[in-house]
Amino acid sequence: MPSEEFSPQALTGPVLLAACGALANPHRLRILGALADGRQYVSRLARDLGMSRPLLHMHLQKLQAAGLVRGELELAEDGRAVKYFEAVPFALEVTPQVIRALVPTLPDPAPPRAGDKGKDTE
C-alpha cells in the first residue's frame, strides 16, 4: 500500500514544477500538515491556522492546482454550504536521476531569438 510514484497523476516536468511550487511556501506546508490530520472546511481551517480566509483560499487554489489537495462543496445538515478540503495521499520522491528523466518533458526553455549574437549570452 505504500510507495506509489505520485499518486494522482504521472510525474512529468510540469507536474513536478507545480508540486514544488506549491510546497515552497510555509503557509501551504502548514495547510497540508493540518489536512494530513483529516479533512476540514476552509473557515475552520483559517481560524485554526490564524490566517485570513481570502489568503487561505488563494493557497488552497494553488495546492489544488498542483493536485496536492482536493476540495468538495457539501451541504451540511442544517443546509449551509460548507467546502471541505482534504490532502491527496501523494508520495513525491525526487532525486537528481528522477529530474534528469523528467527534463525532456519540460516546456520549451524560451523562444531562442534568431540573430542572437550577444557576447555574454552565447
Contacts to DNA by CB under 7 A:
21, 24-25, 27, 41-44, 51-55, 57-59, 62, 71, 73, 78-83, 110, 118, 120-121
- Minimum distance from CB of 22 to a copy of itself (Å)? 8
C-alpha cell at 70: 482536493
Going residue by residue from 60 to 99, which x/- string records binding to a copy of itself, judged by CB under 8 A? ---------------------------xxxxxxxxxxx-x
What angle do helix axes 42-49 and 53-65 make, rounded to 10 degrees?
110
List the single partner that 94 binds among DNA, a copy of itself, none, CB under 5 to 8 Å by kind: a copy of itself
Classify 101 in phi/psi space as left (phi over 0), alpha (psi -120 to 50) or beta: alpha
Contact 86, 39 (CB under 8 A): yes
- Name the β-bridge partners of 40: 85
Give the residue from 117, 39, 105, 103 showing the smallest Cα distance to 71. Answer: 39
**Cβ-based nearer residue to a copy of itself, 77 or 100:** 100
Interacting residues toward a copy of itself by CB under 8 A: 13, 16-17, 20-21, 23-27, 29-30, 32-37, 46-47, 49-54, 87-97, 99-100, 102-103, 106-107, 109, 112, 118, 120-122
